[in-house]
A = this chain, B = another copy of it.
Amino acid sequence: MGRWEPNAEGRLAQAAMELFSEHGYEQTTVAEIAERAGLTERTFFRHYTDKREVLFAGSVHFRENFVVGVEQAPESSTALQAVTAAAKRAATALDERRGREFARARRAIIVANAELRERELIKLADVSVAMAQALRARGVDEPDASMTAELGMAAFRVAFDRWLAAGERRTLPELIDEALASVAPVVA
């Protein structure tokens, strides 16, 4: 079938996760990742634009879940209901795809490094921008669209952090509800 060993991208991503977990992000060199994957440094940069990106391979899929979630919300839904449904859709997909333990391992790598935290923030900001656009397509005006999207992403961030905390048993959608529920009395 394959000409060379198949799934070069996946091998690189797995090698990176392993090495980052073992020795930390900064202590791991791109050449080492490529070597473990049986490839060269140059080939790494053909699959990932930079060293950080190897940890964010699923971000496009992640964002699309939010966008589709907003788009597919019933016509009668309010903006916040649509964003909430979108966040839960993405949350469920995240859990089903790799699970809580994988998310925890990946999270440990990211929070330990400022560059990676920056990359994660811009990915989430991209999601917010995309959701705001989807809301405007539903007829929501600015600044409501942006504020609602930001509110949804904030809830997702807060819920996600709690979801990965030690001993937390609740599901991610439940925690999203909790985060959003705490906003109503605050604003009132």
A114 contact set on B, CB distance < 8 A: 122
Count of A residues near B, CB < 8 Å? Answer: 31
A178 at interface by CB-CB < 8 Å:
yes
A143 at interface by CB-CB < 8 Å:
yes
A117 CA to B147 CA, complexed, in Å: 19
A188 contact set on B, CB distance < 8 A: 184, 187-188
Q: Binary interface profile of A, 109-138, with partner B (CB < 8 Å = 1, else 0)?
A: 000001001110110010000000000000
Q: How far is the CB of A52 from chain B (nearest CB, A)?
A: 9
Is B150 in contact with A182, judged by CB distance below 8 angstroms? no
11 pairs, A vs B, C-beta closer than 8 Å: A114-B122, A117-B122, A117-B125, A118-B121, A118-B122, A143-B162, A144-B186, A147-B155, A147-B183, A148-B183, A184-B188
A residues engaging B (CB < 8 A)?
78-80, 114, 117-119, 121-122, 125, 143-144, 146-148, 150-151, 154-155, 157-159, 162, 178-179, 182-184, 186-188
